[in-house]
């Protein structure tokens, strides 16, 4: 089997206007045997989708004619023969990730098995799932809510519980009291007032959901080390299950200081790439819950190695999921196949009709539990309508 062409697709969806900067880029690798595989560049949010598109296109040019079953050989070529691949970084790693996931999709389809069989088989039949990013409300409304009062945060948590979730994630500091997203002063040491705003929101959530619900506190790496430690100590009494990205990951020493000074398990990994990037965090026992993103860390080939490395250091794994349905399906395949799985992330974006309609299959959890797709490969593809309507370039 040989790779004959690669389509890079800038997926058209109504959320490009409804949700700021929401822009999934999908790769479809086509073979001479008529089998195609899908992967996603993990940069649908934030800034950089066009760069991810270009990187996937450039990488595609060096894999034409290769055997898609030789995933390790292709991964090594993308890293070693591109100069920038050995430096890592978001854009290079995201392009490599999309291609790698698409190759595994082809491999599963060629062998007529789900990817989890290729990854070692299922360790579990369902995945416990948490409701993610409650600061924007919860539900399938395309317009984000902007929550400001403790009562609103509590109500959003109660909505998630009503949908069957027994774990939630929320950033209680991202939105200021006036409803400004990321406009509050998140640089420098937090004032007592800022600390209390976040604490009161979190306390209201805990009081609303009771003691049996796990709460992950998200920080989006927007706080400095001193503020992260002060806030972390303040919320310890609220029995928080994980403290996610309390500081920027580029200096792992900062995260180490938070780990040493706050009695809450640390979660991070969505902006750490390849096993080399994760290595110091493992060796210095900094992260308790690793969160590699299949769309940026290097794809299946790399994420499985990262999770296995983490197992040695007693870390659990939750694949970071904040993309289109392609990446959700891929995450389910990997998470069910690793013994050190922790919990699955259901981002609010995954509920939105405009996102779900881009792909053939509509996978959602029931009562807070995801079932694992048994279709060959990753079990997800773009619809023909999405492909036809979306801007794309083909490399041959």
Q: What is the pLDDT of residues 190-202, one digit of tens each?
A: 889 999 999 999 9
Whether the per-residue pLDDT at 187 is higher than 80: the answer is: no
Q: Is the pTM of this model over 0.85?
A: yes
**Comparison of pLDDT for 349 and 171, the residue scoring more:** 171
- As a whole number, mean pLDDT of residues 321-337 equals 98
Task: Return d(Cα 112, Cα 144) in angstroms, integer.
Answer: 40
Predicted local confidence at residue 188, as pLDDT = 73
**Which domains does the chain possess?**
3-113+382-395 (3.30.390.10), 117-371 (3.20.20.120)
pLDDT over 70, % of the chain = 97
Tell me the per-residue pLDDT of 207-252, one tens digit each, with 9 for 90 and over.
999 999 999 999 999 999 999 999 999 999 999 999 999 999 888 9
392 Cβ contact partners less than 8 Å away, ≥ 6 residues apart: 7, 8, 9, 10
Tell me the per-residue pLDDT of 10-45, one tens digit each, with 9 for 90 and over.
999 887 765 557 899 999 999 999 999 999 999 999
Secondary structure class of 44 (helix, strand, coil): coil
Predicted local confidence at residue 343, as pLDDT = 99
Task: Return d(Cα 396, Cα 60) in angstroms, integer.
Answer: 8
User: What secondary structure does DSSP assign to 263-303, as a single string?
Assistant: SS-EEE-TT--HHHHHHHHHHTT--SEE---TTTS-HHHHH
Predicted local confidence at residue 184, as pLDDT = 53
Tell me the per-residue pLDDT of 137-168, one tens digit each, with 9 for 90 and over.
998 777 788 999 999 999 999 999 999 999 99
Mean pLDDT of the chain: 95
Alpha-carbon torsion (37, 41, 44, 49), positive or negative: negative
- As a whole number, mean pLDDT of residues 295-317 equals 98
Predicted local confidence at residue 16, as pLDDT = 73
Secondary structure class of 112 (helix, strand, coil): coil
Whether the per-residue pLDDT at 363 is higher than 80: the answer is: yes
Secondary structure class of 222 (helix, strand, coil): coil
């Amino acid at each position: 089997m040989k790779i004959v062409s690669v389509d890079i697709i800038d997926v058209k969806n109504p959320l490009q206007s409804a949700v700021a900067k929401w822009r999934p880029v999908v790769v479809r690798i086509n073979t001479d045997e008529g089998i195609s595989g899908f992967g996603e560049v993990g940069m649908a949010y934030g800034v950089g989708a066009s760069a991810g598109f270009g990187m996937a296109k450039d990488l595609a040019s060096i894999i034409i004619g290769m055997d898609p079953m030789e995933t390790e050989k292709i991964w090594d070529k993308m890293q070693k023969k591109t100069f920038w691949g050995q430096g890592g970084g978001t854009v290079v790693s995201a392009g490599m990730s999309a291609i790698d996931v698409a190759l595994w999709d082809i491999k599963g389809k060629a062998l007529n098995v789900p990817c989890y069989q290729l990854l070692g088989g299922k360790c579990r039949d369902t995945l416990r799932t948490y409701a993610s990013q409650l600061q924007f409300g919860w539900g399938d409304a395309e317009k984000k809510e902007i929550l400001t009062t403790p009562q609103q945060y509590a109500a959003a948590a109660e909505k998630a519980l009503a949908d069957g979730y027994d774990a939630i994630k929320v950033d209680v500091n991202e939105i200021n009291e006036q409803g400004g997203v990321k406009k509050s002063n998140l640089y420098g040491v937090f004032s007592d007032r800022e600390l209390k705003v976040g604490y009161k929101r979190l306390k209201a959530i805990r009081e609303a959901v009771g003691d049996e619900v796990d709460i992950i506190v998200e920080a989006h790496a927007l706080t400095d080390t001193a503020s992260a430690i002060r806030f972390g100590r303040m919320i310890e009494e609220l029995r928080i299950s994980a403290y996610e990205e309390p500081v920027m990951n580029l200096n792992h020493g900062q995260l180490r200081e938070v780990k040493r000074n706050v009695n809450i398990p640390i979660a991070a990994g969505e902006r750490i790439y390849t096993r080399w990037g994760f290595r110091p965090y493992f060796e210095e026992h900094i992260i308790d819950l690793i969160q590699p993103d299949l769309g940026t860390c290097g794809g299946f080939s790399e994420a499985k190695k990262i999770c296995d490395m983490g197992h040695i250091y007693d870390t659990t794994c939750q694949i970071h999921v904040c993309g289109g349905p392609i990446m959700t399906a891929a995450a389910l395949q990997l998470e069910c196949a690793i013994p050190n799985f922790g919990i699955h992330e259901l981002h609010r974006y995954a509920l939105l009709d405009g996102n779900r309609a881009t792909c053939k299959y509509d996978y959602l959890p029931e009562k807070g539990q995801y079932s694992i797709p048994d279709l060959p490969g990753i079990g997800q593809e773009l619809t023909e309508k999405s492909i036809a309507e979306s801007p794309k370039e083909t490399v041959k």
